[in-house]
């Protein structure tokens, strides 16, 4: 799902995996709508995901279909939806250690997962290809901001501790604590740690984080669990700080 594709704003969570990404060339369950929702970018490294140990979970790929799954444990039941290319996973025994699985899609994409089962509701995990979001899109700020995203992760630019005045709060449960500022060309990157007070965790969208002077945003992931710290980087013009 694209958010804020206007020339004034760039959503970098969907583009960041382009830096590292390498692209290698039933439905028995009728309550999908009751599942939680986690959307993650395709990436070279494995994804760590948290699934329910009591309910049914679904894994799917946006605009692609799962063809094969490797590494499933006997303590897990799997059901495939051949029409839509989904897989449904349910733990039939208790898991104390994570399970490693590899998924291959019809288009030849490989994605590894480290699966942790815990006491929670069923999850709907969707993997998307950031390249799909770029097709046909023109944004005058994108190229230079993408360079800035790379620079932050390569520890380039002048860096200093951020003032607590830059902290943000969303409602009563989401806190963005400003940890550092990085000065890059005409932009300043503000690095936040995002956490939630909600013990059930929350789904956070980029559109509720941004403020009028923000020009781009990178959010490590949308699903934030209680006790977890998620990285968020907001880009502003230097004279707007």
pLDDT tens digits, residue range 103-154? Answer: 988 888 888 899 999 888 889 999 887 655 444 444 556 677 777 888 888 8
Q: In this predicted structure, what is the pLDDT of residue 33? A: 40
11-25, 70-84, 151-165, 224-238 — which is least confidently predicted?
11-25
Same domain, 152 and 120: no
Residues 120 and 186 in one domain: no
* Cα angle: 36, vertex 37, 38; to 5 degrees: 130
Q: Which of 128, 153, 178 is the last residue of a domain?
A: 128
Higher per-residue pLDDT: 64 or 147 = 64
* C-alpha–C-alpha distance, residues 3 and 13, integer Å: 10
Higher pLDDT, 29 or 193: 193
If asked whether residues 59 and 149 sit together in one domain, one would say no
Mean pLDDT, residues 79-85 taken together: 88
HSE at residue 237, side-chain half, CA atoms within 13 A, is 7
**Helix (H/G/I), strand (E/B), else coil: 91:** strand
3-class DSSP assignment, residue 119:
coil
The reported pTM is 0.48
Q: Identify the domain containing residue 177 by its residue range.
A: 10-15+138-240
- The reply to whether 202 falls in a domain is yes
Structure token pair of residue 98: 């994570």
Tokens 């932009």: give the residue: 187
The domain boundary residue, chosen from 100, 128, 156: 128
CA distance between the termini of the chain: 29
**Residue at 4 is within a domain:** no
Q: Are residues 145 and 124 part of one domain?
A: no
> Is 90 exceeded by the pLDDT of residue 156?
no
- Residues 110, 144 share a domain: no
Across the chain, mean pLDDT equals 78
């Amino acid at each position: 799902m694209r958010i804020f594709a206007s020339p004034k704003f760039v959503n970098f969570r969907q583009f960041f995996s382009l830096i590292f990404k390498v692209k290698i060339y039933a439905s028995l369950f009728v309550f999908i709508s009751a599942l939680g929702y986690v959307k993650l970018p395709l990436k070279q490294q494995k994804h760590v995901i948290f699934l329910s140990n009591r309910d049914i979970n679904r894994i799917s790929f946006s605009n692609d279909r799962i063809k094969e799954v490797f590494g499933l444990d006997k303590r897990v039941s799997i059901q495939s939806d051949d029409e839509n290319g989904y897989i449904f996973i349910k733990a039939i025994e208790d898991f104390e250690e994570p399970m490693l699985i590899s998924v291959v899609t019809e288009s030849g994409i490989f994605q590894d997962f480290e699966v942790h089962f815990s006491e929670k509701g069923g999850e709907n995990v969707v993997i998307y290809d950031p390249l799909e979001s770029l097709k046909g899109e023109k944004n005058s700020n994108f190229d230079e901001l993408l360079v800035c995203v790379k620079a932050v992760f390569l520890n380039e630019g002048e860096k200093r501790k951020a003032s607590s005045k830059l902290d943000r709060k969303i409602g009563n449960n989401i806190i963005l604590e400003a940890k550092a500022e990085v000065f890059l060309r005409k932009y300043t990157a503000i690095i936040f740690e995002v956490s939630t007070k909600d013990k059930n965790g929350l789904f956070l969208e980029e559109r509720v984080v941004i403020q009028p002077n923000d020009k781009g945003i990178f959010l490590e992931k949308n699903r934030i669990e209680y006790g977890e710290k998620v990285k968020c980087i907001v880009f502003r013009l230097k004279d707007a700080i």
